[in-house]
Amino acid sequence: MADAAVFAGILGILYAVVVSGRIWFSPFTPVANISGSPRALPLYAAYSLVRIVIAYLLALVFALAYGLAAAKSDRAAKVLLPLLDILQSIPVLSFLPGVMLAMVALFPGRQIGLELGSVLLIFTGLAWNIAFSFYASLKGIPRELDEAARLYRFSAWQRFGELELPFAAIGLVWNSMMSVAGGWFFLIACEMFVLGKRDFRLPGLGSYLQVAADAGDTRAIVWGMVAMIAVIVLLDQLVWRPVIAWSDKFKFESVEGAAPQSFVLTLLRRSGILASFYRHVIFPMEERVTRRVAVKAGERADSAEAPHKMRQWTGRLVGAAALVALLWLVYRALSTLAQLGSRELLLLTRDAGLTFVRVNAALALGALWAVPAGVWIGTTPRVAKIAQPLVQIAASIPATALFPILLLFLIRAGGGMGIAAMALMLIGTQWYILFNVIAGAMAIPTDLKEASAVFRFPRREQWTHLILPAIFPYLVTGLVTASGGAWNASIIAEYFHFQGQTMSVRGLGAAISSATDSGNLPVLLAATLVMSLIVVTVNRTVWQRLYRLAATRYKLET
Amino acid sequence: MSQTTRNQLATEHITGENGEPILEGRDLEKFYLQPDGGKIEVVSPTNVKIMPGQILALLGPSGCGKSTLLRMLTGLSKPSAGEVLWHGKALDGRTGQERPNVGIVFQSFALFPWLTVMENVEAPLEARGVPALERQKRALRILDAVGLDGFETAYPKELSGGMKQRVGFARALVIEPEVLFMDEPFSALDVLTAETLRGELLELWHGRQIPTRAIFIVTHNIEEAVELADRVIVLASNPARIREDFEITLPQPRSHKSEPFEALVDHIYRVLTQPDTHHELPPETKPTQAQPGTTLPTPRYQMLPHVRAGGIDGFLEILVDHGGREDLHRLSHQLMLEADDLLPIVEACKVLGYVTVELGDAEITEVGRKVAAGDIQARKLLFRDALLAHVPLLQQMASALQAKADGSLPLEFFHDLLAEHFSEEETDRQLRTAIQWGRYAELFEYDSAKKRLTLAKP
C-alpha cells in the first residue's frame, strides 16, 4: 500500500516534468493560447508548480552557498550582509522587464528563455530570507557543538552534513514555506504581462485567472480559484506537513516533546522501495564521499602552507575584479540618473508620497479590523479551531491572482483605480496581520487572563494592560511582512492592463510600471531606487526599533 | 590495545610519573588587547604538564579561566602567548600530524541531537576516514564498556542526563585518545548520577579498560577533585594563575568520610577563600612545582562576586544560627550548596565587611550581626553604608551620578569605565551585579529600556 502510493507519487512528478519540458523546448510563443476550459487547469497548475519548484531549488542552493560564505569569513560578511539587506528591499517586479527581455534574447526562438526569466524572477522573491535564516542559524551553533566538531577534526563536508545543515534545518523549512507562499505572488504576476506593445503570456494558473477575468467569465474564475486553492492545500499536505514532521528530529532540545504528525510521512517511512533505495544507493554514495573527503583533509593538513598563499592571491584578484565591475556599474547607473531633470525628480517625490500614504493606509485599515477579529478568534478556542485553517488558506492565495477579479467587480460596481489599488494592498496584507494576531492571542498565558479577570479590569484596561502588550511582538511581525508585501504590490496595483486598456493612478508603483512600458530607463532606475530607499529607511527606523522593543519589553518570559 | 601499551599503562599507573609529559603548556597566556593598547589579562602566564598515568584536576572559582586553559591545551583556542607542546613538539594548529590525539567531554554533553547514539559515537571515527564496518565494531565495543548496550538506535533526547553523558564519554573514548579532557563533566547531573558516573570512570581507568594515558578534568567541585585526582591544580582568579599544584598520595578508593580526605577538602577551601595567604599542605600530599608563595600580581580592580543581595542576608541569618562561626566545608554540606555556589556569597560578605574568613572558617562581624537581626529597611541602610565604604565601583557610580546636575548618566559611561579592566563579557556581568546591588541599596534607579542610571530620590 505504502509502496503503491510512493510509486504513484513518482509517476505524477515525472509526468509534470515531461510536459513542462516539452513546453520549455518548444518554439518561442510569446502569447500562449490560454484555454478557458476547466479541463485545462490540471495541466496549467502543473506548469506553474514546475516553475516555482525549480525557482525554489535554485534559491535553496544559492541561500546555502551565500550563508556559508558569509558565516565562514568575517570579511566576506561585511560585504554580503548589507548587500542581502538591500537586495531584500528592492521591489522584485521592477526587474521583470529587464530579466524577461534579457532571457528571451539569450535563447532566441525557444520558449525556455521566457520560462527561465519567470523562474529567475520567482527566485529573487525566494532567495534572500532563506539565505538570512541559514546565516543566522550558522552563527547560532552552540559553542560546545562547534568545539566537538573541531576537536574531532570533522571535514568541511562532514561538518556541513552532521552539524550545520541539521542545526539550520528547522529555520530553513519555515522560511522555505514562507518564501514559497510569497513566491506565488510573483509567479502569477510574471505569467502574463505587457511590455510596451509586446504581450507575453505563459501557460499557467496565473494567466488562466487573468484571461478569465479579462473576459468576465465568472465560471472560469471560480474554477481557477478552486484550482489555486487545491494546489496550495495539496502542497501543504503532501510537501510541507511531511517536511515539518520530518524536520522535528532536528529540533535542538534535550527533552522529548509532542512531535507534529503527518500521514504522508508515515506512509513514506513505511515504504520498502525508499528504504532499500537508501540502503543500496544513497548510503554507499554518502560513505564514499565522506571517507574520500576525510582522507583528503588529512593530506591537505600536511601541506597546508602553499595552497593557502595561492588562495589568498586568487581571493584578492577576484575581489579586485568585482570591485572594478561594481565601480563601472555605479558609474553607468549614475550617468543614467543624471539624465533626469528636476521636474521628473519632483514628480517622483510626489509619487513616492502618494504610494507611502496608500501603503500605510492599507496597513492601518488592515490592522483596524484584523486586530479585534484576530483577538476574538484567538481567545475563543471554539472559533479558532474552525477559523485558523481558513485564514491560513486565505492568506496563501496570492493577491496578484485576485487582482483581476477584484478589478472586474470594482468596475462593475463603478469604483475607480485608486480604490482598487488600496483594495489590492489590503487584500495582500490583512491576512498576515490577522494570522499573526490570532497566534499572539492564542499565546496569552492563562494565568495572566485569570489575573485580569480576578482584578475585574474594565474592557479598556484589558486591552491596554494585557491584550495589546501580549500580541505586540506578533503584530509587529505581521505588519513588517504586510508592509513589504504592500510596497511590492503597488507596482501592479497602481498600473494595470485590463480588458485591453491601461488603468492607472499616480504613485511610485505606477511610475515604475509606466517607465517599464515606455522603456524610460532613467525613471525606472530612479523610481526603483527611491522605493528601495524608502523600504530600507522604514525598516531601519521603524520596524527594527519595534522589533527590539518586542524582543525586550514585550517578551513573555517563561 | 596492544600488549606493550597495556604494560606501559600498567607501569604508569603504578609509578604515577613516567618521564616526559604527554602535553605541556608553557607560559600559556590569554589576554585581550584594548583599542588603546592596554591589555586585559584573563589567564596570566601558566605552566602545566600533563604526565602519563595521572588524573589531573583543575580547580578554581567559577569564571576564573579554567575552561580557557583547557581550551588552549586542547588546541581549540589559540593562546595569546606561550606554546603548547605535544610530546615535546609545538602545536601550531595548522599541520595535521601535530594535532593532539585527545578526546573531550563537555558539561552540556554537546551531543548531536539529530544523530542516534551510535551515529554520535561513530562521528569522530568517520572524520578520520575509518570504514563503516570497522566504525561499527569500535563504536559497539566502547558503548558496551560504558554500559549503553541496547541504546544504539536511541536519540539523545530519549536519554536521561546520566545516559547522555555516557554517550559523551563513549564519543570521547572511541578514538582512543591519549589524553581525555573533561570540562565539568558531572556538573549538569544530579548528585547520585554524578557519583555513579565518577565511580564508573575510576573503574574504567584503574581497570585499564581504556587506552587513555592521562585524564585532565576541570571542575569547581572540591570533593570531586579530591576523590578522583592524582594531582590537583588550584587556580586563583582575576587573572587566572596557579595558586597551588600538588599531588594527592591518598590511595584509591577514597572515602569521603576519612580524615585525610576531609583535611584535603578543608585545605582547598582555605586556599580558595584566602588565595593570598600561605597555607601548609595537609598530609597525604606532596608539592609538584615551586609554590608560588604569596607574591601577588599587580593589584587589580576589585571584582564583584555575582551574588544577589538577598542571598547575602540569608547566608548571614544561617551563620548566626550556627553561633556566628562555622567551617565553610561543613556549611556547604549542610546547605547542600556546592562550593561554587557558596564561595561567591562568602566572598561578597567578606567584601562588604559582614564576615571574616580564616582557616576555612567564616566568622560574622558586628555589622554582619546587625544585618542578620535587622528588618528589610535596616538591612538596606546597612548595605548602602557597606557599599559606599568598601566597594569602589559603587562609590564611583554614586559620586559620578551626584556630580551631574540631573543626577542621571547612561549605562555606557560606566561600561566604558569597566571595559578598561575587564573583558567584554565580564564587564557586562560586573555591571549587572553593580546595578542589582545599587538598586537594592536604593543608591540609584535604572531604566532598562533607556539604559540610564538615575540617582535615587532620598
C-alpha cell, A42: 490540471
Determine, for residues B157 and A256 on separate chains, whether the beta-carbon distance falls below 8 Å: yes
Percent of chain A, pLDDT > 70? 92
* Chain A residue with minimum CA distance to B122: A152
Lowest mean pLDDT among A240-244, A390-394, B81-85: A390-394
Range with the largest mean pLDDT of A15-24, A132-141, A263-272, A384-393? A132-141
pLDDT in tens, A317-328: 888 888 888 888
For residues A25 and A48, what is the distance between their CA atoms, to the nearest angstrom?
16
Q: Given B74, B129, B449, which is nearest A151 (Cβ)?
A: B74
The pTM of this model reads 0.81
For residues A350 and A476, membership in a common domain is answered with yes
DSSP 8-state secondary structure symbol assigned to residue B293: T
- The residue ranking higher by pLDDT, A121 or B38, is A121
Mutate one of A137, A146, A150, A151 to test the B interface: name it (highest B CB count within 10 A).
Answer: A151
For residues B65 and B1, what is the distance between their CA atoms, to the nearest angstrom?
35
- Looking at residue A435, its pLDDT comes to 82
Question: With a CB-CB cutoff of 8 Å, which residues 219-258 of chain A face chain B?
Answer: 249-256
C-alpha cell, A207: 494567466
Q: How far is B77 from chain A (nearest CA, A)?
A: 9
Residues of B with CB under 8 A from a CB of A: 71, 74-76, 94-97, 99, 102-104, 106-110, 112-115, 123-124, 126-129, 131-132, 155-158, 164, 171, 175, 448-449
For residues B271 and B281, what is the distance between their CA atoms, to the nearest angstrom?
10
For residues A327 and A202, membership in a common domain is answered with no
Q: How confident is the model at residue B57 (pLDDT cuts 50, 70, 90)?
A: very high
Are the CB atoms for B118 and B152 separated by under 8 Å? yes
* Chain A residue with minimum CA distance to B73: A151
| Arithmetic mean of pLDDT over chain B | 85
In which domain, by residue range, is A411 found?
Answer: 340-558
- Looking at residue A253, its pLDDT comes to 63
Determine, for residues A153 and B99 on separate chains, whether the beta-carbon distance falls below 8 Å: yes
User: Residue A100 burial by CB count (10 A; 0-12/13-18/19+): exposed, middle or buried?
Assistant: buried
- Looking at residue A296, its pLDDT comes to 64
Give chain B positions within 8 Å (CB) of A256.
Answer: 157-158
For residues A262 and A386, membership in a common domain is answered with no
pLDDT in tens, B147-159: 888 899 999 988 9
For residues A307 and A236, membership in a common domain is answered with no
Q: How far is A477 from chain B (nearest CA, A)?
A: 20
Lowest mean pLDDT among A241-255, A297-311, B222-236: A297-311
Give chain B positions within 8 Å (CB) of A151.
Answer: 74-76, 102-104
For residues A419 and A392, membership in a common domain is answered with yes
- pLDDT at residue B181 is higher than 90: yes
Give chain A positions within 8 Å (CB) of B216.
Answer: none
Determine, for residues B110 and A144 on separate chains, whether the beta-carbon distance falls below 8 Å: yes
Give chain B positions within 8 Å (CB) of A553.
Answer: 449
Tell me the average pLDDT across A267-293.
Answer: 75
Tell me the average pLDDT across A12-34.
Answer: 73
Determine, for residues A304 and B96 on separate chains, whether the beta-carbon distance falls below 8 Å: yes
Tell me the average pLDDT across B447-457.
Answer: 85
Q: Given A158, A295, A302, which is nearest B97 (Cβ)?
A: A302
For residues A226 and A347, membership in a common domain is answered with no
B281: left (phi over 0), alpha (psi -120 to 50) or beta: beta
Lowest mean pLDDT among A139-143, A171-175, B294-298: B294-298
Q: How far is B250 from chain A (nearest CA, A)?
A: 34
- Looking at residue A304, its pLDDT comes to 47
Q: How confident is the model at residue B293 (pLDDT cuts 50, 70, 90)?
A: very low
For residues B307 and B391, what is the distance between their CA atoms, to the nearest angstrom?
14
List C-alpha distances in Å: A334 to A173, A331, A337, A521, B250.
Answer: 40, 5, 5, 12, 81
Radius of gyration for the alpha carbons in chain B, expressed in angstroms and rounded: 24
Determine, for residues A142 and B110 on separate chains, whether the beta-carbon distance falls below 8 Å: yes
Q: How far is A154 from chain B (nearest CA, A)?
A: 5
User: Residue A126 burial by CB count (10 A; 0-12/13-18/19+): exposed, middle or buried?
Assistant: buried
Percent of chain A, pLDDT > 90? 9
Mutate one of B133, B157, B411 to test the A interface: name it (highest A CB count within 10 A).
Answer: B157
- The residue ranking higher by pLDDT, A91 or A180, is A180
pLDDT in tens, B426-444: 889 899 999 999 999 999 9
Q: Which distant-in-sequence residues (6+ apart) come within 8 Å of A148 by Cβ? A: B104, B106, B110, B171
- pLDDT at residue A81 is higher than 80: yes
Q: Positive or negative CA dihedral for B331, B337, B343, B344? A: negative
Tell me the average pLDDT across A428-450.
Answer: 83
* Chain A residue with minimum CA distance to B168: A148
Tell me the average pLDDT across A135-148.
Answer: 89
Give chain B positions within 8 Å (CB) of A302.
Answer: 95-97
Lowest mean pLDDT among A295-304, A411-420, B376-385: A295-304
Are the CB atoms for A94 and A512 separated by under 8 Å? yes
- pLDDT at residue B182 is higher than 90: yes
User: Residue B266 burial by CB count (10 A; 0-12/13-18/19+): exposed, middle or buried?
Assistant: buried
pLDDT in tens, A501-543: 778 888 888 888 888 777 778 888 888 888 888 888 888 888 8
- Looking at residue B269, its pLDDT comes to 87
For residues A325 and A377, membership in a common domain is answered with no
For residues A42 and A204, what is the distance between their CA atoms, to the nearest angstrom?
9
* Chain A residue with minimum CA distance to B158: A256
For residues A69 and A191, membership in a common domain is answered with yes
Determine, for residues B96 and A298 on separate chains, whether the beta-carbon distance falls below 8 Å: yes
- Looking at residue A179, its pLDDT comes to 83
C-alpha cell, A354: 502618494
- pLDDT at residue B2 is higher than 50: no
Q: Does A553 touch chain B if contact means CB atoms closer than 8 Å?
A: yes
* Chain B residue with minimum CA distance to A549: B449
Find the CATH number of the domain harbouring A553: 1.10.3720.10
Determine, for residues A162 and B115 on separate chains, whether the beta-carbon distance falls below 8 Å: yes
For residues A295 and A424, membership in a common domain is answered with no
For residues A344 and A291, membership in a common domain is answered with no
- pLDDT at residue A379 is higher than 70: yes
- Looking at residue B16, its pLDDT comes to 47
- Alpha carbon A448 to chain centroid, angstroms: 36
- pLDDT at residue B66 is higher than 50: yes
- The residue ranking higher by pLDDT, A388 or B408, is B408
Q: Which of B186, B300, B286, B166 is nearest to B236 (CA)?
A: B300
Q: How confident is the model at residue B8 (pLDDT cuts 50, 70, 90)?
A: low
Q: How far is A153 from chain B (nearest CA, A)?
A: 6
Cell numbers 530570507 correspond to: A129
Q: How far is B61 from chain A (nearest CA, A)?
A: 21
DSSP 8-state secondary structure symbol assigned to residue A112: H
Q: How confident is the model at residue B328 (pLDDT cuts 50, 70, 90)?
A: confident
| Arithmetic mean of pLDDT over chain A | 81
Instruction: Say what angle helices A112-139 and A165-191 make with each other, to 10 degrees.
Output: 150
* Chain B residue with minimum CA distance to A250: B114
Q: Which domains does chain B have, with CATH numbers?
A: 3-101+176-287 (3.40.50.300), 301-390 (1.10.10.10), 392-458 (1.10.10)
- pLDDT at residue A476 is higher than 90: no
Tell me the average pLDDT across A458-474.
Answer: 85
- Looking at residue B13, its pLDDT comes to 53
Tell me the average pLDDT across A125-142.
Answer: 87
- Looking at residue A369, its pLDDT comes to 92
List of long-range contacts for B278-283, beta carbons under 8 Å, 24+ apart: B281/B246
Q: How far is A250 from chain B (nearest CA, A)?
A: 5
Determine, for residues B94 and A301 on separate chains, whether the beta-carbon distance falls below 8 Å: yes
Q: How confident is the model at residue A133 (pLDDT cuts 50, 70, 90)?
A: confident
- Looking at residue B164, its pLDDT comes to 93
Q: Does A166 touch chain B if contact means CB atoms closer than 8 Å?
A: yes
Tell me the average pLDDT across A199-227.
Answer: 85
Give chain B positions within 8 Å (CB) of A166.
Answer: 112, 114
For residues A323 and A368, membership in a common domain is answered with no
Tell me the average pLDDT across A484-491.
Answer: 83
- Looking at residue A308, its pLDDT comes to 63
Q: Strand B214-219 and strand B55-59: pairing? A: parallel
Total domain count for chain A? 4
- Looking at residue A256, its pLDDT comes to 57
* Chain B residue with minimum CA distance to A145: B110
- The residue ranking higher by pLDDT, B51 or B252, is B51
For residues A322 and A433, membership in a common domain is answered with no
Q: How confident is the model at residue A236 (pLDDT cuts 50, 70, 90)?
A: confident
- Looking at residue A146, its pLDDT comes to 92
- pLDDT at residue B96 is higher than 50: no
Q: How confident is the model at residue A356 (pLDDT cuts 50, 70, 90)?
A: very high
pLDDT in tens, A38-59: 788 888 888 888 889 999 999 9
**How does DSSP assign B108-133, residue by residue?**
T----TTS-HHHHHHHHHHHTT--HH
From A228, A248, A270, give the residue that closes a domain: A270
Q: How far is A302 from chain B (nearest CA, A)?
A: 5
What's the number of CA atoms in the CB half-sphere (13 Å) around residue B40?
Answer: 17
Mutate one of A152, A160, A295 to test the B interface: name it (highest B CB count within 10 A).
Answer: A152
Q: How far is B450 from chain A (nearest CA, A)?
A: 11
- pLDDT at residue B1 is higher than 50: no
Q: How far is A453 from chain B (nearest CA, A)?
A: 29
Determine, for residues A301 and B74 on separate chains, whether the beta-carbon distance falls below 8 Å: no
